[in-house]
């Protein structure tokens, strides 16, 4: 078989759509606003945002202004919310492209409003309340004052009030309940003061899928839409992995026992064996730690193979001595399924001492994203994998 790419990430759009539907079911009457920051956690924000638009989502969250503008450029007309902070230089483009921003301080709110007025325009904003994440956001005791300032500012339009939960396991962590209570209190206070709030939103994937209630008007899942969620959080929820990561074998080499392999000779063969070289390295998102932890694993012909030696920038090596019939050109799976064998992003993250978010976000630009809208048989896929757009 001849693959078209050295290394590629297969993105299953049908799985993404299914996860969106699953999230919508879990959200009940709240709307799902997908969070597609950091290039949709490495999956490719443009294509996923267009899929979201097809599915009729009402709003998409992004990490910064550049990501929002990239989606506008790709033809995404859905309302976009920059969840992080913006800087002054970005304001003209944000206004021009009707992009909403999160507001994290009173000073920021005033500056945004003043600028919008100079353009005879209005900027849509979401007030972010820090209920315990202790990162961005106004403190609960300042929430009413800042909300009032936004309401009184003709250059701003309050489109929502939000918070963000810190716990990794949602409602299984008592801090989530504390944050929720605090948030509900702030919302009541704002409403009692006569401030009209078009949308209240808080839940991320962990909060949504662990069963947080009430969810307010919208939820903001990111990682769960990509089919990655700690199994204990939602054991019955059928989320499907969206990304699989592959490379093809470009070189095979038989080596004797006692042969040091790779930079530093960190790994030494203890028996004669066969090594395969993969054209994917740490610049492409293979964690360097996988080489030194001794726990790196990939799949070849349905079998697990250890990563051996240090991961290089562009390459890594694996031991295929136990796999029959290996050839140059064989597909290697670094994340995903191969026959009965499966390696998910969580396992790779565990082996590298990190979290799955970092694993998928780190997949580099050289790795071709190949999008599939249904799930064809692997044999069919071999012939139909499209060439990258010019
Ligand atoms: C990243 C992010 C989310 C989504 O978090 P997941 O854990 O991926 O579901 C939601 N809200 C905000 C403000 C975020 O930064």
Do both 210 and 273 map to the same domain?
A: no
The Å distance, Cα 202 to ligand 1 centre, comes to 9
Say if ligand 1 is within 6 A of residue 162 CB: no
Residue 371 annotated as catalytic: no
In this structure, the answer to whether residues 132 and 201 fall within a common structural domain is: yes
Select from 127, 131, 164, 360 the residue to mutate for testing ligand 1; criterion: most ligand atoms less than 8 Å from CB.
164
User: Which of 19, 26, 61, 167 most suits a substitution to test ligand 1, by most atoms within 8 Å of the C-beta?
Assistant: 61
Q: Is residue 5 part of a domain?
A: no
Q: What is the pLDDT of residues 213-268, one digit of tens each?
A: 999 999 999 999 999 987 778 778 899 999 999 999 999 999 999 999 999 998 99
pLDDT reported for residue 222:
98
Residue 73 lies in a domain: yes
Q: Is 111 inside any structural domain?
A: yes
Distance (angstroms) between ligand 1 centre and the Cα of 103 equals 16
* 221 and 255 together in one domain: no
- The answer to whether position 142 is within a domain reads yes
Q: Ligand 1: does its nearest atom lie under 6 Å from the Cβ of 62?
A: no
Q: What local confidence, expressed as pLDDT, does residue 266 receive?
A: 87
Domain boundary (158, 192, 226) is at: 226
CATH number, domain containing residue 353? 2.40.37.10
Distance 236 CA to ligand 1 centre (A): 22
CB within 8 A of 5, min separation 6: which ones? 248, 368, 370, 385
End-to-end CA distance of the chain: 24
Mean pLDDT on 288-296: 90
Provide the pLDDT for residue 206: 96
Ligand 1 near 202 CB (within 6 A): no
Evaluate if residue 384 carries a pLDDT over 70. Answer: no
Catalytic residue among 25, 41, 128, 263: 263
Q: What is the per-residue pLDDT across 54-106, written as a single tens digit (0 to 9) for each?
A: 999 999 999 999 999 999 999 999 999 999 889 999 999 999 999 999 999 99
State the closest ligand 1 atom to the C-alpha of 222, by its place in the atom list counted from 1.
8
Q: Can you give the pLDDT at residue 378?
A: 45
Share of the chain above pLDDT 70, in %: 95
Which position among 37, 128, 315, 371 bears the catalytic label? 37
Classify residue 279: in a domain, yes or no. yes
Atom of ligand 1 nearest to the CA of 162: 13
* Binding site membership of 204 for ligand 1 (Cβ less than 6 Å): yes
220 CA → ligand 1 middle, Å: 6
Kindly tell me if the per-residue pLDDT of 110 is higher than 50.
Answer: yes
Is the same domain home to 75 and 206?
yes
- Tell me: do 179 and 253 sit in the same domain: no
Query: Residue 257 is part of which domain span?
Result: 243-381
Residue whose tokens read 């859905």: 78
**Residue 152 — φ and ψ, nearest 5°?**
-85, -5
Does any domain span residue 386? no
What is the pairing mode between strands 297-300 and 368-372?
A: unpaired
Q: What is the CATH number of the domain that holds 209?
A: 3.20.20.10
> Which of 158, 193, 226 is a domain's end point?
226
Q: For residue 155, is it within any domain?
A: yes
Give the residue-averaged pLDDT of 30-40.
98
- Which of 64, 220, 358, 359 is the pocket-test mutation for ligand 1 (most atoms within 8 Å of CB)? 220
Question: Smallest Cα–Cα separation from 344: which of 356, 354, 336?
Answer: 336
Cβ burial, residue 193 (10 Å; 0-12/13-18/19+): exposed
**Residue 191 CB coordination number (10 Å):** 13
- 128 tagged catalytic: no
**In b/e form, how buried is each residue of 47-80, taking b as 16+ CB within 10 angstroms?**
bbbbbbbeeebebbbbbbbebbbbbbeeebebeb
Same domain, 172 and 251: no
Domain count within the chain: 2
Ligand 1 binding pocket includes 146 (Cβ within 6 Å): no
226, 251, 269 — which closes off a domain? 226
Closest Cα to atom 3 of ligand 1: 204
Q: How far apart are CA 42 and CA 243, in angstroms?
A: 9
Residues 121, 262: one domain? no
Report how far ligand 1's centroid is from the alpha carbon of 35 (Å).
Answer: 6
- DSSP lists the bridge partners of residue 316 as 278
Atom 15, ligand 1: residue with shortest CA distance: 83
Mean pLDDT check: name the lowest of 77-91, 158-172, 288-302, 370-384: 370-384
| Distance between CA atoms of residues 167 and 385, nearest Å | 39
Ligand 1 pocket, residue 223 CB under 6 Å: yes
Task: Decide whether any atom of ligand 1 lies within 6 Å of the 220 Cβ.
Answer: yes
* Ligand 1 contact, 221 CB (< 6 A): yes
CA of 212 to the centre of ligand 1 (A): 15
One domain for residues 208 and 291: no
68 and 189 part of one domain: yes
Q: Are residues 120 and 201 in the same domain?
A: yes
DSSP 3-state assignment of 375?
coil
User: Which H or E run includes 370?
Assistant: strand 368-372
pLDDT for position 2 = 59
Co-location of 183 and 319 in the same domain: no
Q: Supply the pTM of this predicted model.
A: 0.93
Is 80 exceeded by the pLDDT of residue 202? yes
Q: Which of 20, 35, 100, 210 to mutate to test the pocket of ligand 1 (most atoms within 8 A of CB)?
A: 35
179 and 256 both lie in a single domain: no
Question: CA 205 to CA 225: how far, in whole Å?
Answer: 8
The pLDDT-based confidence of 379 (bands split at 50, 70, 90) is very low
In angstroms, what is the span from residue 157 Cα to ligand 1's centroid?
A: 23
Arithmetic mean of pLDDT, 127-138: 94
Residue 74 inside a domain? The answer is yes
């Amino acid at each position: 078989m001849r693959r078209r790419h050295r290394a590629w990430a297969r993105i299953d759009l049908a799985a993404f759509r299914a996860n969106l539907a699953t999230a919508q079911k879990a959200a009940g009457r709240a709307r799902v606003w997908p969070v597609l920051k950091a290039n949709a956690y490495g999956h490719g924000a443009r294509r996923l945002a267009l899929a979201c638009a097809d599915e009729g989502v009402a709003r998409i969250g992004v990490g910064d202004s550049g990501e929002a503008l990239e989606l506008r450029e790709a033809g995404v007309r859905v309302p976009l919310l920059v969840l992080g902070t913006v800087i002054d230089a970005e304001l003209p483009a944000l206004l021009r492209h009707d992009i909403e921003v999160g507001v994290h301080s009173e000073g920021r709110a005033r500056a945004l409003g003043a600028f919008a007025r100079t353009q005879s325009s209005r900027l849509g904003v979401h007030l972010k309340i820090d209920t315990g994440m202790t990162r961005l956001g106004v403190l609960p005791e300042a929430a009413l004052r800042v909300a009032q300032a936004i309401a009184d500012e003709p250059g701003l339009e309050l489109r929502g009030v939000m918070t963000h939960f810190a716990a990794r396991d949602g409602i299984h962590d008592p801090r989530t309940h504390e944050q929720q209570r605090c948030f509900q209190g702030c919302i009541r206070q704002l409403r009692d003061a006569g401030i009209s709030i078009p949308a209240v939103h808080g839940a991320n994937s962990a909060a949504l899928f662990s069963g947080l209630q009430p969810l307010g008007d919208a939820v903001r899942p990111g990682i769960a839409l990509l089919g990655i969620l700690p199994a204990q959080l939602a054991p019955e929820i059928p989320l499907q992995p969206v990304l699989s990561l592959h490379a093809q074998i470009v070189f095979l080499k038989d080596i004797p026992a006692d042969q040091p392999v790779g930079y530093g000779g960190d790994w030494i063969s203890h028996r004669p064996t066969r090594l395969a070289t993969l054209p994917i390295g740490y610049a492409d998102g293979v964690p360097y730690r996988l080489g030194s932890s001794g726990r790196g694993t990939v799949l070849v012909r349905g079998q697990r193979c250890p990563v051996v030696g240090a991961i290089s920038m562009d390459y890594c090596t694996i031991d295929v001595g136990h796999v029959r019939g290996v050839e140059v050109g064989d597909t290697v799976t670094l994340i995903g399924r191969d026959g009965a064998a499966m390696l998910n992003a969580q396992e790779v993250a565990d082996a590298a001492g990190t979290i799955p978010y970092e694993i998928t976000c780190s997949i580099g630009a050289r790795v071709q994203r190949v999008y599939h809208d249904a799930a064809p048989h692997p044999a069919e896929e071999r012939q139909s994998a499209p060439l990258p757009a010019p």
